[in-house]
Structure 1
Amino acid sequence: MGIGSSRLFSTLAQSLSSTPLEHTHVDVEDGDSDQADPDVLLRQCGEVLRNRPPRLHRAFIQTRTGSPHDSQIRVMQWNILAQALGEGKDGFVCCPAEALNWSERKYLILEEILTYRPDILCLQEVDHYYDTFLPVLSSLGYQGSFCPKPCSPCLDVRDNNGPDGCALFFSRRRFQLLGVSHLRLSAVLLKTNQVAVVATLRCRATGRAFCVAVTHLKARSGWEAFRGAQGSHLLQQLKAISRDGGEERTGGAEGMPLVVCGDFNAEPGEEVYQRFMASPLGLDSAYRRLSADGSTEPAYTSWKIRPSGESCSTLDYVWYSSSSISVDGVLKMPSEEQIGPNRLPSYHYPSDHLSLVCDLSFIQEPHRLM
C-alpha cells in the first residue's frame, strides 16, 4: 500500500463529525505529489463493505461506433443523498437505519465513484464536502468547488454536518480551470434556495474550452412552474457564461460547448425539461441515447419508498451541446430485480438516486481538420 492510499484510507476510517465547516467553496489547484492509488482504495472499500451485498452490476452501452480514445471525457452525475436527510428527514421506511450509517455508507459512495473513474463528477446533496469529499477526491487528483444551499434542510436535523449543496470535481490532469461561477437560482424575481456551480474548463489534450454545470432544482409536486422558472434562469446564466467565455477564448461570438448535470426533480413531461429541450443553446439529454429511437428517457433514475408510498421517477439528466459534443456511451440503469423489493437506498446502494455516467467526445470542428 502506498503512503498516499494509506493516509487516504485513514482519513475515511476516522470519525468525521468534528470538522468545522465554512459556508464557502474551496478550489484545490495543486495536487499532492503523493497521489493515492485508486485501485488500492477501491479494494479497501471492498474490504470494509465485505459484509454487505455486492454493488449493482451495470453494463456500459456504446452509443457510437469507434474505439475509446484519449480525448474522451467521462462524466458522472449523481445525487448522493445528504447524510442528514437520509438519517433524519427523508423517511425511507424500507431501508434499515444501519444501512444509512455514515461509517460505511461513505465507502459505498466512494466505491461507486472509483468503479467508473469519471473525469468530471457532478454531485448534489453533498453535506460532507470538507471532511470527506474534498480531501479524498483531491488526493485522487481532482479539483473541486462547492456551493451550499442558503437555507439547507440539513440544518434542521440534529447533529448535522452543515448545509448540503452542489459540488463539481474534475481531473486536474485532464483539465485546466479557466473560471468558476456560483449561482443562486431565481424564479422570476424571487431568489430561491437552489444553487448551481458552473466551471469553464480547457481540455489539455485537445485545447477545447467548454462549460460544465451542476444544479439541483426544487423538489416535490406542485412546484412545476417554480422549477420551470429556475430552469429558465439557469439557461440565461449559461448562455451568458458560455458566450462571454467563447468570445474571450476563441475570438468569436459563438458560445462554448455545454455539459449540464443535475437532479431536476422533474419528469420528462415537465415544463423545465421542455425548456431545456427547446433552448436555443442546442441541448440534448445524453440518456435518450439508450432508447431505440434516441428520443426517450430511462424509465427511472430514482426509486424509493417513503411513508407516502412508492416513487419510481426519472429526475436526473446529463445535458450536452449536441452540435459540438457526441455521446459515445452511457451506463445502463439496473433492473428492478437488481434494485430489489425494498428499493433505494439499501445495503448495496447508498442513495435513492442512481448515478448517471456517460462518455462524451468533442465533434471535430472543420477548421481543426485543416
Structure 2
Amino acid sequence: MIEERLDEQSLMDVRAKAGKNRRERSANTALCGNNDSRKKRRRFAFSSETTIPTSSEPQKLPSSKRSKPVRSPPRTSRKYEKRRSSESDGHRRWVYSTRDCSRFIDKIMVASYNILGVENASKHPDLYHRVPSKFMDWSFRKELICNAIKFYNAGILCLQEVDRFNDLDELFQNYGYKGVYKARTGEANDGCALFWIEKLFTLLHQESIEFQGFGLRNNVAQLCVFKMNKSKSRSKTSRSFVIGNIHVLFNPNRGDIKLGQVRLFLEKAHSLSQRWGNIPVIMAGDLNSIPRSAIYQFLASSELDIQLHDRRKISGQLDFSSSRGAFRFCSEGTKWSNVLASRSFRWSGEEIRIASGMENVTCLQHHLKLSSAYYGVPGSCKTRDANGEPLVTSFHSNFMGTVDYIWHSEKLAPVRVLETLPIDALKRTGGLPNEKWGSDHLALVCELAFDDEDNVT
C-alpha cells in the first residue's frame, strides 16, 4: 500500500511538473509571438509613415499636368485620399464646409499667394536673419513655389510681390496657365500677377488700378472678368465673375491711405460686376491688415465710421502681438465692437478726403456683400482664431499673423479651403521661407461654387 501510494504520489508529481512545463512553454510561445507581433507592427508603422525629404534641393515635378499616380490599397476611401493629399503639401489639409455642397456643379478653385519679391527680401535682411541663405535664393524658392502651385491645382492664381514675372510665366505655361501682370509705380520693381488656366476660363475684360493717380501711393491692383468655358449646370447665362487681386500699402501709420486703397478697389469691383450683369465677385490679396481690424470690419460689414478709429491703428498692425490669443476682438452678430478706437487722435481734412474720396465724409460704405472664404469653412483651433480666420498667413522675424484673405460675394459659397499650419509647427521652422515653403507667406486656397438653383444636380 505504501509503495502504491508512493507510486501514485510520484505520478502526481510527474504530471504536475509536466503541466508546469507546458504552461511555461505556452507562456514563452505567447511572449515570443507578442514580440514578433510588436516587431511587425513597428515595421509596418515605420513603413507607413510619410518621409519628409531632408535635402535642401526642392523636389522636381513631372512635366505632365497631374502627378504620377501613387499605388494605393485595394479599397481607397475618401479619408485615405484626404490624408494623402495633406501629406503631399507638408501636412496642410483640405477642410470642407458644414453645408452640403456635393450637389453643386460649377466650381472655381482660387489661390492667393504673396510670393516674397526678390528685391524686397534683399532690402530687408533683418526679417530673415534666421533663414539660411540657400533658402532665400530665388532659383530655390521658385521651384518650391511652382511645386506648391502644381499641388493646389487652382484654376485662378492671384500673386503679390511678383518681380520675376517672366520666370513664372514661362514655367506656368507648362501647366496650362496664361497670365497678366501689373507692376507697381514709383521705384519699386514688384507688382501683382493674375494667372488662369486657359482650358477652364476665358478672359473677357481686364483693367488695373494705379493708386498713385488717386494720391494713394504706388501700390496697384488688378481686376478681371472671366467666363467659365465648360459650364455643366442648367444656367441659361454664361458663368461669369469678377476677380480682383491687390497688395495694400504696408505702412501701419497710414491707415487713411490703406482705407483709400481698399475703398477704391471695392468701388471698381462693384462697378465691373454691375456692368457685366451683376455677376459674382472674388477678391484676393495681401491687405496688410489683421483679422477684426477696422479694415476687416469695413470689408465684412460694408460700412465704417472712420472717426471712431485712430488712423495709425486702422490695420491693427501696431497693436498686434505675435503671441497667440494676445489680440482679442468682440462682436455681436453683425454689430462690431471696436476695441481699437482712440478718440485722442483726430483726422485732418486731408486724411478724411484720402480715406473716403470726398470732403468731410467720414462714413465709408461699399455695395458688395462680402464674406471671407476661410471664415465660412470651420477649421481647427490649432490653425484658426476665435472668429474662424487663419491664425497665421505670414511669418518672419518681426511678424507672425494673418494679413492675407480671399473674399467672395453672396452669389458664391465656399466648398472647401486649404488649412494653414499650426503656430507651434511654424515656430519650429524658425521662420519663412525654409526648405519646404518658398515665401514668408502661406498661400490661401479655396474652392467656391455658384450658389443658385441652376447649379445643383
Structure 2 residue aligned with 1:229, among 260, 263, 270? 260
Q: Find the residue that maps to 2:219 and give its secondary structure.
A: strand
Q: 2:143 aligns with which of 107, 125, 130?
A: 107
Does the 8 Å contact 1:231/1:275 carry over to 2?
no
* Aligned match of 1:184: 210
Q: Secondary structure of the residue that 1:167 maps to in structure 2?
A: strand
One-letter amino acid of the structure 2 residue matched with residue 220 of structure 1: N
Max Rg structure? 2
- Among 95, 109, 120, which residue is 1:74 paired with? 109
* Cα 1:104/1:55, change in 2 over 3 Å: farther
Q: Deviations over 1:228-273 (max 9, x none)?
A: 1111111111111111122xxxxxxxx2100000000001233322
1:42 and 1:301 map into 2 onto residues whose CA distance is 30
Match of 2:90 among 56, 63, 75: 56
Q: Does residue 226 of structure 2 align to residue 201 of structure 1?
A: yes
Distance 1:141 1:283, change over 3 A: same
Whole-angstrom distance in 2 between the partners of 1:239 and 1:268: 23
The one of 289, 297, 315 equivalent to 1:274 is 297
**Structure 2 letter corresponding to 1:95:** V
Relative to the length of structure 1, the TM-score reads: 0.75
Describe the shift of the 1:258–1:198 C-alpha distance in structure 2 as closer, same or farther (beyond 3 A): same
Number of aligned residue pairs: give it: 302
Gap regions ≥5 residues in structure 1: 1-11, 13-34, 44-53, 154-162, 247-254
Residue aligning to 1:297: 389
Match of 1:121 in 2: 157
Which has more strand, going by share of residues? 1
CA gap 1:344/1:42 in 2 versus in 1, 3 angstroms: farther
2:416·2:447 contact (CA, 8 Å) conserved in 1?
yes
Match of 1:239 in 2: 270
Paired with 2:387 and 2:281, the residues of 1 have a C-alpha distance of 20
Amino acid at match of 2:273: S
Identify which of 84, 97, 119 aligns with 2:133: 97
Is 1:256–2:312 an aligned residue pair?
no
1:178–1:199: 8 Å Cα contact kept in structure 2?
yes
1:281-302: CA deviation from partner (whole Å, max 9, x where unpaired)? 1111111124479943121211
Contact (CA 8 Å) 1:290, 1:298: kept in 2 or not?
Answer: no
Q: Judging changes above 3 Å, is the alpha-carbon distance between structure 1 residues 93 and 294 closer, same or farther for their aligned structure 2 residues?
A: closer
Q: Which amino acid aligns with 1:148?
A: A
Native 8 Å contact 2:392 2:423 kept in 1: no
Q: Determine which of 328, 334, 338 is the counterpart of 2:421.
A: 334
Q: Which amino acid aligns with 1:199?
A: C
* Conservation of the 8 A alpha-carbon contact between 1:55 and 1:349: no
Q: Secondary structure at the match of 1:288?
A: coil
- Offset at residue 220 of structure 1 (A): 3.2
- Contact (CA 8 Å) 1:185, 1:234: kept in 2 or not? no
Corresponding position of 2:65 = 38
Q: Please report how far the alpha carbon of residue 71 of structure 1 lies from its aligned counterpart in structure 2 after TM superposition.
A: 2.4
Offset at residue 274 of structure 1 (A): 1.8
Q: Look up the match of 1:29.
A: none
Larger mean CA deviation between 168-177 and 268-277 belongs to: 268-277
Kept in 2, the 8 Å contact 1:186–1:230? The answer is: no
For 1:289 and 1:300, the matched residues in 2 are separated by: 17
Aligned residues: percent identity?
A: 28
Structure 2: distance between partners of 1:68 and 1:87: 48
Matches of 2:89 and 2:107, distance apart in 1: 26
Confirm or deny: 8 A CA contact 1:225 1:271 kept in the other structure: no
Q: What residue number does 1:146 align with? A: 181
CA contact (8 A) 1:42 1:114 kept: no
Aligned to 1:348, what secondary structure does the other structure show?
coil
From 354, 358, 369, the equivalent of 2:446 is 358
| Equivalent residues in 2 for 1:139-178, closer than 5 Å | 139-153=174-188, 163-178=189-204
More helix by share: 2
Post-superposition shift, 1:152?
4.6
Instruction: Name 1:9's counterpart in structure 2.
Output: none
CA distance in 2, matches of 1:365, 1:151: 47
Give the distance between the partners of 2:187 and 2:435, measured in 1 at CA.
26
